Amino acid sequence: MENLKDLRQRINKIDDEMIKLFEERMHVSRSVADYKLKHSMQILDKKREEEVISKNLSKLKDKSIKIETEYFLNQVMYISRVLQGKVIGDLNTKKGCENSEKNVYKVGFQGVPSSFSYQALMEYFKGSARALNFQTFEDVFNALKLKKIDYGVLPIENSSTGGIAEVYDLFRKYGFFIVGEKSIKVEHNLLGVKGAKLDDIREVFSHNQAFMQSSEFLNKYSGWKLIPYYNTAKSAEYISEQNNKSKACIASKNSAELYNLDILKENINYNNNNYTRFAIIGNYIENDSSNNKISIIVSIPHKVGTLYEILKCFKKNNLNMMKIESRPTKNKCWEYFFYIDFYGNLSDSNTSDALNCIKEQSLYFKMLGNYRAED
């Protein structure tokens, strides 16, 4: 086995070659920018970038680093686009969300590249995002507030366990809006270090949602200590670093590949039809005639018939409510916030009539967004 000094020398040599190749690529990117300027072409060519990623991933010999390779390629192409923007003189590369370089957005997510949040981000934005990861949900909201990112991607609801309370609370705290959504099928697995067995496990790390979604399996092992962690992917990273057979985590198969962990038990979530809905959050409501879904938060007086009056607003205006979920207000016992999704567009008169009706019945009202429902 090579010692650390020898390994670092090998890395230094590889880095030397990478710098030469990177510099060469940037020079070619400048030439591409000159051509695009001459022929009045846009900087971003999504189809071309998707072809580049697909072609290079097919050449990959070690498929266990597929996620990292895709992330690397996306970042290199983002840097190339920024450079081309400078050459062309496109000021849009230096401004916020509406002025991002030819629709290349800085998008924040919580976790690491093997997380479900990252998967949702990549599938929603395709090749038009530069992904930036953060430690907590609130870090993403704060980055949006400070304009470090243009959008954020956060889990908002699970088909098995309901709404993600922490994220809903942050919407009320920061006042941002939902501008889109993406659902990802979630399959949880019990992961451990190489050589670990179920009998070795004493502690299991993961996000609380993963614990809840895997409760039937976990109940069979009452001796295990369940320790909440930032998210499923970060818990896999932690277990890999600890290299302790008594510690395990609940995470995805991608995380197992990324962190070289064994899958001790596959698909431990009790619902095989387990999906998490991710909200794309932004600073403003994005008006569009194709937007067909509205999300709101309301609180109502704690007295007989008030919820019924809210529901009448939908019936009277012939609107289909998709979801209603309650959460304690914390300020006063037995009073609740209601999180409501329904079909509608803000430009429609029946939608505006319904919203005015709801506001009249509410102690608190917040518009979360009007966006396009995922097919």
Would you say residue 323 lies in a domain? yes
Would you say residue 55 lies in a domain? yes
Q: Of all helices (H) and strands (E), which one includes residue 281?
A: strand 275-282
Would you say residue 3 lies in a domain? no
- Residue 331: its pLDDT value, please? 74
Least confident of 65-74, 107-116, 312-321: 65-74
pLDDT in tens, 73-101: 887 887 887 777 766 654 333 333 343 44
Dihedral sign for Cα 260, 231, 144, 99, please. positive
| Over residues 319-331, mean pLDDT | 89
364 or 98: which carries more pLDDT confidence? 364
Same domain, 264 and 316: no
Q: Which residues are catalytic?
A: 276, 278
Would you say residue 83 lies in a domain? yes
Q: By the 8 A CB rule, do 46 and 126 touch?
A: yes
Same domain, 301 and 351: yes
The whole domain housing 356 covers 291-371
Q: By the 8 A CB rule, do 189 and 267 touch?
A: yes
Same domain, 242 and 364: no
pLDDT > 70 fraction of the chain, expressed in percent and rounded:
93
| Over residues 199-220, mean pLDDT | 96
Q: Is the pLDDT of residue 264 over 90?
A: yes
Same domain, 22 and 128: no
283 or 218: which carries more pLDDT confidence? 218
363 or 331: which carries more pLDDT confidence? 363
**Token pair for 261:** 């962990």
Same domain, 122 and 20: no
Specify the number of domains making up the chain. Answer: 4
How does DSSP assign 285-351, residue by residue?
----TT--EEEEEEE--SSTTHHHHHHHHHHHTT--EEEEEEEE-SSSTT-EEEEEEEE--TTSHHH
34: closest CA among 101, 84, 68? Answer: 84
- Residue 335: its pLDDT value, please? 79
| Range list of H helices, the chain | 4-38, 46-58, 66-88, 116-125, 137-145, 165-174, 208-213, 215-218, 232-242, 253-258, 306-316, 349-361
Same domain, 160 and 277: yes
Same domain, 306 and 329: yes
Same domain, 117 and 179: yes
Would you say residue 139 lies in a domain? yes
- Stated length of the chain: 375
Same domain, 145 and 279: yes
Write the CATH number for 69: 1.20.59
Residue at which a domain ends, from 232, 257, 284: 284
- Residue 190: its pLDDT value, please? 98
Same domain, 232 and 195: yes
- Residue 97: its pLDDT value, please? 39
Contact partners, residue 345, CB within 8 Å, separation at least 6: 289, 291, 292, 294, 351, 370
| Range list of H helices, 111-201 | 116-125, 137-145, 165-174
Residue whose tokens read 């994005």:
286
Torsion of CA 252, 258, 259, 264, to 10 degrees: 40
366 or 333: which carries more pLDDT confidence? 366
Q: Is the pLDDT of residue 32 over 60?
A: yes
Same domain, 22 and 96: yes
If one counts every other C-beta atom within 10 angstroms of the C-beta of residue 166, the result is 14
CA dist., res. 346 & res. 293, Å (int): 9
Residue at which a domain ends, from 101, 135, 159: 101
Contact partners, residue 21, CB within 8 Å, separation at least 6: none
| Over residues 217-229, mean pLDDT | 96
CA 150, distance to chain mean position in Å, is 13
From the CA atom positions of the chain, what is the Rg in Å? 24
Would you say residue 208 lies in a domain? yes
Would you say residue 315 lies in a domain? yes
- Residue 302: its pLDDT value, please? 82
Q: Is the pLDDT of residue 37 over 80?
A: no
pLDDT in tens, 140-188: 999 999 999 999 999 999 988 888 989 999 999 998 999 999 999 999 9
Same domain, 176 and 161: yes
| Range list of H helices, 90-222 | 116-125, 137-145, 165-174, 208-213, 215-218
What band does 33 get if pLDDT is binned at 50, 70 and 90? Answer: confident
Would you say residue 4 lies in a domain? no
Q: By the 8 A CB rule, do 78 and 154 touch?
A: no
Write the CATH number for 276: 3.40.190.10
- Residue 268: its pLDDT value, please? 96
| Over residues 104-128, mean pLDDT | 89
CA dist., res. 285 & res. 242, Å (int): 44
- Residue 350: its pLDDT value, please? 93
Residue at which a domain ends, from 235, 268, 301: 268
Please report, for residues 86, 181, 189, 217, 250, the alpha-carbon distance to residue 264 in angstroms, rounded to integers and kept in the order given.
Answer: 50, 32, 8, 12, 10
